[in-house]
């Protein structure tokens, strides 16, 4: 039994996530976690909400709530929606937790002690009325280039010109509108990534099995332009982890917080500690996942994320871990994703474009979405969600292939032999051929799952379903029963067992359908069908079942057209 630590990029707190976010991080991580548990491995699967930073403060202000209250509420909302999609986190933590505060301060202290922190003085715009320094994008004014009067301090979104806050004409605070702005001196901490560059590069070069998408992004940041740069890890904000050196004050850094990208990945560790706290476990129980001096030596750590998160996970977070000079676990494999687009454009949280997780669940159960998203995951290139493709894939794969098989077999059995596994006959040539084919296809499915080749795994799973359908079609027990009922009984006995086998192997993709199928079969044995022949005798003659309801229904053309219209606009 192996030990596998899995983390998904942690979703930002400022709203409900869209289907692109889901398929680019949490959902494939869940698929992998479920598969590994199904194979009997010990899994720790951690996710959390990413709560700090100015966008959270502004979202809270817009909602008219204190930021702590807003984050706590939004965390609960995200947690509930994640449960709706059956994301099987061992813990869904919060980057604002006390655990993460302490760990983030601890890492900063270690980095300082080891000479990897530099204190830098900068000049930055201060709003007297707001009593705070303003990040570039929270300074507004008139664009010197086009005259647009809502240009931001980093860029004019009207003419796209890159700006400095001091370029703006009549600058004002985007928070209060005040024009009482001053340029003040402020001090910040920088993580000396350049000093760790060789170490990071050697480590990345040792990862020869990583997806090209992951290593190409890492290498680009290591080599392009002036190469890897030091990175500011503090901000002049109120909402965040206060800057401290371990548990000691940091002279000159009073009132400042760590930058959200410094504390967010540390939450993977803190989230595991939160898991321990929430479940009455000890320090040793979570440290055995993270400290190679405390039992994590045999852990395999896999991260899942969209491509924009790759630089932080291949460079900055490893720099934090390496620079601590403590034996924390580094990631072993980073599975990264391209983008899922929506119906001819991009998904966008800020513009409210696309289908959001809560909306998706309001029209169809989780399994329908899970199947489509995973079987179309943007692995080697961007992919696109269209309602036509969604309808076609659900109707064909789930309703016509899998659902239909389950329904035909159970209904036929009920009408001819009653709701128990029939006893007659023996398997013949046709059944042995099927078993051999399934054994081979199962091996292909397993190797795709192990390699996290998600689309290919979905293709293999579908092929396993199709093999069963083709068997049933050619064996035709409904004809055979008229002349040789014993033979028909053997076919149906095998088919009922095949349904159980499908429930087990399909569970990582469609957990609800798998569970309801298993319940109908009156069985609770989820053991992996390593030996297909043996697995197909698991439900013995005489075993009672109940005929299940429709497993997957078809999406009608009218529904598709209605959803297409309903979700074409902008979410407000």
Structure tokens at 229: 């740069």
Beta-bridged to residue 337, according to DSSP, are 306
Residue 420 in marked binding region: no
- State the minimum distance, in angstroms, from the CB of residue 171 to Zn ion: 14
Binding site residues, Zn ion, CB under 5 A: 143, 145-146, 148, 156, 158-159
Which of these, 437, 14, 478, 53, lies nearest to 236 by C-alpha position?
53
Q: How far is the CB of 139 from Zn ion (least distance, A)?
A: 14
Nearer to Zn ion, 147 or 418 (CB): 147
Query: Which partner in Zn ion, ligand ATP, none is near 253 (CB below 5 to 8 A by kind)?
Result: none
Q: Specify the residue, 239 or 552, whose C-beta has the smaller distance to ligand ATP.
A: 239
Residues 3-62 that bind ligand ATP (CB under 6 A): 9, 11-12, 17, 20-21, 23-25
- Cβ nearer to ligand ATP, comparing 263 with 431: 263
Query: 3-class DSSP state for residue 486?
Result: helix
What is the smallest separation between the CB atom of 142 and Zn ion, expressed in angstroms? 9
213 or 490: CB nearest ligand ATP: 213
Closer to Zn ion by Cβ: residue 146 or 426: 146
Q: Is 71 annotated as a binding residue?
A: no
Query: How far apart, in whole angstroms, are the C-alpha atoms of residue 461 and residue 564?
Result: 29
| Among 84-92, 347-355, 356-364, 421-429, the segment contacting ligand ATP (CB under 6 A) | 347-355
Give SS3 for 519: helix
Is 54 among the annotated ligand-binding positions? Answer: no
Is residue 133 a contact residue for ligand ATP (CB under 6 A)?
Answer: no
Beta carbon nearer to ligand ATP, 24 or 93: 24
Alpha helices in 96-168 (DSSP H): 98-113
Query: Residue 21 or residue 142: which is nearer to ligand ATP going by CB?
Result: 21
Distance of closest approach, residue 434 Cβ to ligand ATP, in angstroms: 38
Residue 349 in marked binding region: yes
The one of ligand ATP, Zn ion, none whose footprint includes residue 21, by CB under 5 to 8 A per kind, is ligand ATP
383 binds ligand ATP (CB under 6 A): no
CB-based contacts of 443: which residues, under 8 Å, 6+ apart? none
Contact 18, 343 (CB under 8 A): no
- The answer to the question of whether 159 is labelled as a binding residue is yes
Q: In 399-536, which ranges are continuous DSSP H helix? A: 404-417, 429-450, 454-475, 477-483, 485-506, 511-520, 532-535
> From the CB of 174, what's the least distance to Zn ion, in Å?
16
Nearest partner of 307 among 374, 390, 215, judged by Cα = 215
Name the one residue in this structure whose structure tokens are 């659902």: 403
Q: Which of residues 287-326 bind ligand ATP (CB under 6 A)?
A: 305-306, 308-309
Binding residues among 349-368 for ligand ATP as defined by CB under 6 A: 349
Rounded Cα distance between 536 and 531, Å, is 9
The option from Zn ion, ligand ATP, none interacting with 340 (CB < 5 to 8 A, set by class) reads: ligand ATP
237 binds, among ligand ATP, Zn ion, none (CB under 5 to 8 A by kind): none
Contact present, 71 and 96 (Cβ < 8 Å): yes
Distance CA 360, CA 370 (A): 11
CB 418 within 8 A of CB 547: no
Residues 6+ apart with CB under 8 A from 295: 284, 287, 288
Binding partner selected for residue 369 from ligand ATP, Zn ion, none, CB under the kind-specific 5 to 8 Å limit: none
Least spacing, CB of residue 306 vs ligand ATP, in Å: 2
Q: Which of 262, 268, 328, 347 binds ligand ATP (CB under 6 A)?
A: 347
Q: How far is CA 482 from CA 201, 425, 476, in A?
A: 70, 14, 11
Q: Which residues pair with 245 in a beta bridge?
A: 248
User: Residue 386 binds which entry of Zn ion, ligand ATP, none, with Cβ cut-offs from 5 to 8 Å by kind?
Assistant: none
Residues in CB range of 16: below 8 A, 6 or more apart? 77, 78, 81, 356, 357, 358
Piece in contact with ligand ATP (CB under 6 A), picked from 152-160, 196-204, 339-347, 465-473: 339-347
Backbone angles phi, psi at 369, to 5 degrees: -70, -45
Among ligand ATP, Zn ion, none, partner that 117 touches (CB below 5 to 8 angstroms by kind): none
Q: Which of 27/513 has CB closer to ligand ATP? A: 27
Count of CA atoms in the C-beta half-sphere (13 A) of 37: 19
Instruction: Name 24's Cβ contacts closer than 8 Å, sequence gap at least 6.
Output: 9, 305, 306, 337, 339, 340, 378
CA distance 227 to 196: 12
Nearest CB to Zn ion, comparing residues 152 and 244: 152
Whether the Cβ atoms of residue 189 and residue 118 lie closer than 8 Å to each other: yes
Closest approach of Zn ion to the CB of residue 62, in Å: 25
Q: Quick one: what does residue 145 bind among ligand ATP, Zn ion, none, with the CB cut-off 5 to 8 Å set by partner type?
A: Zn ion
Distance (Å, whole) CA 290 – CA 444: 32
Annotated binding site: 143, 146, 156, 159, 349
Annotated binding site for Zn(2+): 143, 146, 156, 159
Annotated binding site for ATP: 349
The residue ranges that bind ligand ATP (CB under 6 A) are 9, 11-12, 17, 20-21, 23-25, 305-306, 308-309, 337, 339-340, 347-349, 378
């Amino acid at each position: 039994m192996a030990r596998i630590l899995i983390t998904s990029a942690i979703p930002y707190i400022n709203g409900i996530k869209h289907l692109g976010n889901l398929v680019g991080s949490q959902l494939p991580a869940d698929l992998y976690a479920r598969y590994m548990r199904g194979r009997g491995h010990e899994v720790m699967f951690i996710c959390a909400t990413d709560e700090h930073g100015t966008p959270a403060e502004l979202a809270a202000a817009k909602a008219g709530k204190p930021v702590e209250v807003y984050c706590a509420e939004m965390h609960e909302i995200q947690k509930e929606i994640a449960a709706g999609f059956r994301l099987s986190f061992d813990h869904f933590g919060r980057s604002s937790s006390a655990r993460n505060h302490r760990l983030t301060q601890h890492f900063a202290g270690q980095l300082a002690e080891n000479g990897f922190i530099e204190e830098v003085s900068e000049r930055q715009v201060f709003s007297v009325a707001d009593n705070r320094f303003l990040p570039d994008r929270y300074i507004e004014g008139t664009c010197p280039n086009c005259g647009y009067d809502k240009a931001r301090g980093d860029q004019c979104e009207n003419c796209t010109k890159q700006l400095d806050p001091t370029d703006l004409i009549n600058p004002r605070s985007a928070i209060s509108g005040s024009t009482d702005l001053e340029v003040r001196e402020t001090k910040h901490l920088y993580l000396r990534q350049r000093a760790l560059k060789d170490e990071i590069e050697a480590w990345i070069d040792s990862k020869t099995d990583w997806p090209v998408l992951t290593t190409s992004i890492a290498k680009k940041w290591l080599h392009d332009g002036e190469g890897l740069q030091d990175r500011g890890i503090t901000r002049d904000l109120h909402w965040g982890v206060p800057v401290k050196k371990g548990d000691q004050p940091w002279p000159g850094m009073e009132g400042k917080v760590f930058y959200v990208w410094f504390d967010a990945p540390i939450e993977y560790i803190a989230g595991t500690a939160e898991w321990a706290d929430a479940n009455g476990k000890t320090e040793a129980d979570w440290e055995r996942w993270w400290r190679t001096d405390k039992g994590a030596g045999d852990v395999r750590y896999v991260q899942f994320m969209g491509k924009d998160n790759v630089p932080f996970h291949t460079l900055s977070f490893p720099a934090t871990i390496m620079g601590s000079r403590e034996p924390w676990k580094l990631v072993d494999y980073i599975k990264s994703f391209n983008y899922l687009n929506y119906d001819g454009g991009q998904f966008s949280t800020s513009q409210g474009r696309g289908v959001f997780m809560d909306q998706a669940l309001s029209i169809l159960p989780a399994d329908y979405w899970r199947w489509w998203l995973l079987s179309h995951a943007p692995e080697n290139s961007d992919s696109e969600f269209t309602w036509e493709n969604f309808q076609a894939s659900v109707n064909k794969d789930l309703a016509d292939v899998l659902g239909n098989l389950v329904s035909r077999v159970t209904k036929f059995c009920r009408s001819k032999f009653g709701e128990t596994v029939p006893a007659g006959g023996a398997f013949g040539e046709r059944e042995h051929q099927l078993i051999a084919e399934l054994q081979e296809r199962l091996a292909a499915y397993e190797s795709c799952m192990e390699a996290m080749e998600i689309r290919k795994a979905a293709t293999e799973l579908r092929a396993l379903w199709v093999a069963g359908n083709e068997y049933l079609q050619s064996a035709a027990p409904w004809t055979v029963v008229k002349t040789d009922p014993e033979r028909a009984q053997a076919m149906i006995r095998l088919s009922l067992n095949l349904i159980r086998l499908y429930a087990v192997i399909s569970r990582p993709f469609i957990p609800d359908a798998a569970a309801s199928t298993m319940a109908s079969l009156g069985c609770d044995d989820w053991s992996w069908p390593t030996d297909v022949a043996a697995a197909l005798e698991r439900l013995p003659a005489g075993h009672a079942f109940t005929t299940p309801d429709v497993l997957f229904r078809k999406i009608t053309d009218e529904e598709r057209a209605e959803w297409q219209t309903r979700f074409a606009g902008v979410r407000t």
